[in-house]
Structure 1
């Protein structure tokens, strides 16, 4: 009798263990995600919720990392072997991690994907995730720069707001006319801060002038920087731009202290709330004798760190987030889709959407280069030196070129 009870007990335990094992096998695998998007309106939140509900093989567990800390946090995680399965990186630093061999080559997964197809992406965003012929990331979103202008100020100064400046000479002429020292109004504003933001906003001028990062000692680069220096000397641009981040330049525009300003689509939500005047956007003006359409590329890229425990699950989420239905949601917070096949129907801020989407076609990636931070730092110094009058533009850029050329001699762009 005892043996029968024992046998029955063992069978019960075995059945229970079997149930636990079955339940464990059915439990979704955790995919850890680090991202920088702290606004709950960002498309990543809806994407995570929808992905977790749509299938039961994987579950995304997300952690928000401040944008200013992401690179440092990922470097520490790589050193300790505790990397997330998936992360979002600002596009110019992807090559830095790729060049150090700390990212997973996604080329095989992309080759088999029915959703992530290289030919569907804008050239700039896709290029930002490539290194030495391999794909180390997939663009999540994109942004670029366009020209905000105060249409009410245009009318007050006798300028036609329906005919915004199309060339550098027209930009300078309009900005000079709009300048009003008595009201503390500057004609034009942009960020020249000694940080990546300053380089981001200078690069369009450099490219429009026919220059490039590997030829800073040439006349084209000098022409680009002199254009800005001369406007500052004339009082058209505030000397404060050397200390202003992009959002601070936007603040001066929304406050009515800057008539025309460089800015990105991420400013649209607060522009809508805070600007108490008729504001509009237009494409970046081109240099008169060159007619080169160009802007700088911003945005984030999904990457899978080497050592990730769930690379396949991470890529499935990348594919999910790359679906046009998800990417359409990005524009609600001023995030452009990095793909040419995604077009938002009846977009919020329709005029702005048309301008930024067209400007995206000429948006150039920064680099890609594994030592982009060093390259950028040299250019940041040159911009500051020229705008503060510490050195003539040509000399400042020549000094920057001397720092950059050895880097590019070792690893070309």
Structure 2
């Protein structure tokens, strides 16, 4: 993120992007995008459009091919040929900035949902209402991922979020129930820790990934990124520090990516892990691994977890060709059709963005039902702070590092995080 986010090896390593690790690059470069507020390249005037260009970060061979097939199919329905260009996740935002400055943005642009606010703010994107794109049937939280200043600029065909994966055999052998609350998580993680096996694993590395993984604990406890120095935020961070200091979670989580967390779980060195649905294909490849998935544990029984929304939105950049924009909007609409959302979700182990399609998908794929339920109440990361989210995310992952290493208490670390988030 995610958001993309991961399969490790095949599709797992590539999806480390779901949590939106590129977002911070934009804050220093918004000025460049402003240059593109009007008139991106394409055919001048309103000549009949016969081809479209598309930019995304789907560089994994199978994912690139799957998207190429879908884009070609949607292109045929709009009577245009579609040329797909995929760049590595770390290169996408710099490329957008260069193309915006040169007014050569593609006709159809995919971006991580956490990046949309800053790109839309610059004026480089076109509100989808100008093309009468149908946005009905999307959950409010999902629709907000593509919304800036009250207008929808992007639609996500699928989304993702986080849940608790657990090793069924390990829990059964230790006579440990699946934890539903924080207290149950502490107890289960301690009882499951044995030798070189830890009870729990998370991604706590110094990147946006760890901020993404921390959000379910922050939000579910009533905290938010506007007040990182609140007691609710400190309680959430103390849960993580208690797990590390008590030996139930490895200190190495300070360096693990989400892909590394998956590797530890798959190898039997972690009995439980926090991760996303994109891990399922890899988990299913091991016939000896019996795993289950449950909602992220909450502070108190009876609560529903509030998790972050990962995934990418598809947008139509500003252009001097109304004809090309109209065709791009038709392709975007096709991508987000119910049948294509269902197809894409099955290919990428994600959740369809239309509520009715997601419910159908959960019936067909029971392992995904936890994620479908969590997505219904999930939040987009930029909902509270908009373009200022990257600063808060930086403060969060810095606080995690400081607290888990013992350099500061959770309260001290989060006071520093609040200063980072509100710095001019």
- Name the TM-score class by shorter chain: 0.7 to 0.9
Could you tell me how far apart the structure 2 residues matched to 1:51 and 1:107 are?
20
Distance 2:94 2:364 in 1: 36
Q: CA deviation at 1:379?
A: 1.6
**Corresponding residue for 2:87?**
65
**2:410 aligned with 1:393:** yes
- Structure 2 residue corresponding to 1:380, chosen from 397, 411, 414: 397
Which of the pair has more CA radius of gyration? 1
RMSD: 2.2
Partner of 1:49: 72
- Aligned equivalents of 2:416, 2:47: Cα separation in 1: 61
Provide the residue aligned with 2:130 in structure 1: 108
Superposed CA offset, 1:315-349 (max 9, x none):
11110001111111122321211110214757798
Task: Report if aligned partners of 2:200, 2:248 keep a CA contact under 8 Å in 1.
Answer: yes
| Cα separation, partners in 2 of 1:346 and 1:208, compared to 1, 3 Å | closer
Q: Is the 8 A contact 1:91 1:301 kept in 2?
A: yes
Other-structure match for 1:190: 202
Evaluate the alpha carbon distance shift between residue 343 and residue 129 of structure 1 in structure 2; reply closer, same or farther with a 3 A threshold: closer
Q: Which residue of 2 aligns with 1:9?
A: none
**2:166 maps to which residue?**
149
Matched, 1:257 2:269: yes
Q: How far has the Cα of 1:137 moved from its partner?
A: 1.1
Q: Distance in 2 between matches of 1:332 and 1:205?
A: 29
Distance verdict in 2 for CA 1:275–1:356, change over 3 Å? farther
Q: 1:74 aligns to what?
A: 96
Q: Say whether the 8 Å CA contact 2:283–2:289 is kept in structure 1.
A: no
Deviations 1:25-51 (A, max 9, x none): 998521100112234544523311322
Q: 1:286 to 1:275 in 2, by over 3 A?
A: farther
CA deviation profile, 1:181-203 (whole Å, cap 9, x unmatched):
x2x10100111111111111000
Q: Does 1:165 pair with 2:187?
A: no
Greater mean deviation of Cα atoms: 39-48 or 251-260: 39-48
Give the conservation status (yes or no) of the 8 Å contact 2:114–2:381. Answer: yes
Pick from 285, 292, 308 the counterpart of residue 297 of structure 2. Answer: 285
Q: 2:58 aligns with which of 12, 19, 37?
A: 37
CA gap 1:344/1:61 in 2 versus in 1, 3 angstroms: farther
Q: Given that residues 209 and 220 in structure 1 are in contact (C-alpha distance below 8 angstroms), is that contact kept between their aligned partners in structure 2?
A: yes
Q: Which residue number corresponds to residue 333 of structure 2? A: 319
Task: For 1:175 and 1:89, locate their aligned partners in 2 and report how far apart those are by CA, in whole Å.
Answer: 37
Cα-to-partner distance string for 1:101-147 (whole Å, 9 max, x where unaligned): 222222322xx23xx224x1122221111111111211132000011
Indicate if the aligned counterparts of 1:208 and 1:293 stay in contact, CA closer than 8 A.
yes
TM-score by length of 2: 0.83
Partner SS, residue 221 of structure 1: helix
The equivalent position to 2:144 in structure 1, one of 122, 127, 134, is 127
Normalised TM-score (structure 1): 0.85
> Would the aligned equivalents of 1:209 and 1:290 in 2 still touch at CA under 8 Å?
no
Offset of residue 52 of structure 1? 3.1
The unaligned stretches of length 5 or more in structure 1 are 1-24, 408-413
**What is the aligned counterpart of 1:352 among 367, 390, 393?**
367
Give how far 1:171 is off.
1.1
Say whether 1:83 aligns with 2:97: no
- 1-structure distance, mates of 2:327, 2:117: 23
Aligned pair count reads 372
Per-residue deviation, 1:376: 1.4
* Residues 104 and 306 in structure 1, CA contact (< 8 A), matched pair in contact too: yes
Note closer, same or farther for the CA distance 1:53–1:278 as it changes in structure 2 (3 Å cut). same
Q: Distance in 1 between matches of 2:312 and 2:153?
A: 13
Alpha-carbon distance in structure 2 between the residues aligned to 1:84 and 1:232: 46
| C-alpha contact 1:190 1:262 (8 A) present in aligned 2 | yes
* 2:25 aligned residue: none
C-alpha distance 70-348 of structure 1, shift in aligned 2 (>3 A): farther
Alignment of 1:207-286 (within 5 A): 207-274=219-286, 276-286=288-298
Q: Structure 1 residue 94 and structure 2 residue 116: aligned?
A: yes
Inter-partner Cα distance in structure 1 for 2:393 and 2:361: 38
Structure 2 match to 1:332: 347
